[in-house]
Chains A and B, each alone.
Chain A
Amino acid sequence: AQKVTQAQTEISVVEKEDVTLDCVYETRDTTYYLFWYKQPPSGELVFLIRRNSFDEQNEISGRYSWNFQKSTSSFNFTITASQVVDSAVYFCALSEWEGSQGNLIFGKGTKLSVKP
């Protein structure tokens, strides 16, 4: 069965701290994609990153970085030097090539609060 688990319900940090959001997934497909989305209070989901199951290379984009490890079925997201504007709910999602045929399976989200 496909499943995405985000064990951290809420995280609160002070500005400039680094913070890591955890994501663990379950799938039987060998071809799948992992995503992170950000949902600010306005409600619109903002696409952040997509990785496919054949590419375990970590990625850095500005203050954001992602650590994909197939051995532990994890796709963690780190924000370096957090800012108040990073406050939002962050969702990890899984898309299977065959099982769910492309629709996104979301975790329950992690609410990040960055305080000045």
Chain B
Amino acid sequence: DAGVTQSPTHLIKTRGQQVTLRCSPKSGHDTVSWYQQALGQGPQFIFQYYEEEERQRGNFPDRFSGHQFPNYSSELNVNALLLGDSALYLCASSLGGIGGREQYFGPGTRLTVT
């Protein structure tokens, strides 16, 4: 049973550039959530996708955008990168797009902005 996968594992970008991170949910899951985890902090919710639509959004600027495909995989795009965007980006999948369900996390993408 395939778990949540993310690519790439690591990424180094320059300030002002754009980046795309990818996530494939756990088999059978249809909901994908993205979190940003700064060093030494807990994950912060960015947004959630269900049925190819953004259902909820955390307190992140419009530079952060996403997409969900018909096969439930998802992308996170960040434009005009800032040094403060350096973090571990975690993707989590769950079932049914409702609250209270367990979210299963991928290994994350470590983004470094220089």
Contact = CB atoms under 8 A, between A and B. Distances in A.
A90 B113 CA distance: 27
Contacts of A98: 99
A64 interface: no
Interface stretch (B11-19, B42-50, B63-71, B75-83): B42-50
Contacts of A93: 42
Contacts of B94: 102
Nearest to B107: A44
Interface in A23-78: 31-33, 35, 37, 42-47, 50, 52
Given A43-B107, A45-B105, A102-B99, A91 B45 contact: no
Contact of A95 (B40, B100, B106, B107): B100
Contact of B41 (A33, A42, A44, A108): A108
Contacts, number: 72
Contact of B105 (A44, A96, A97, A109): A44
A19 interface: no
| Interface size class of chain B, counting residues whose CB lies under 8 Å from the partner chain | 20 to 34
Interface residues of A, number: 30
B55 to A, nearest CB: 8
4 nearest CB pairs, A to B:
A102-B99, A106-B42, A45-B105, A33-B100
13 contacts: A43-B88, A43-B108, A45-B90, A52-B100, A95-B100, A96-B99, A97-B99, A104-B33, A104-B35, A104-B43, A104-B45, A106-B42, A108-B42
Interface of A: 4, 31-33, 35, 37, 42-47, 50, 52, 91, 93, 95-98, 100-109
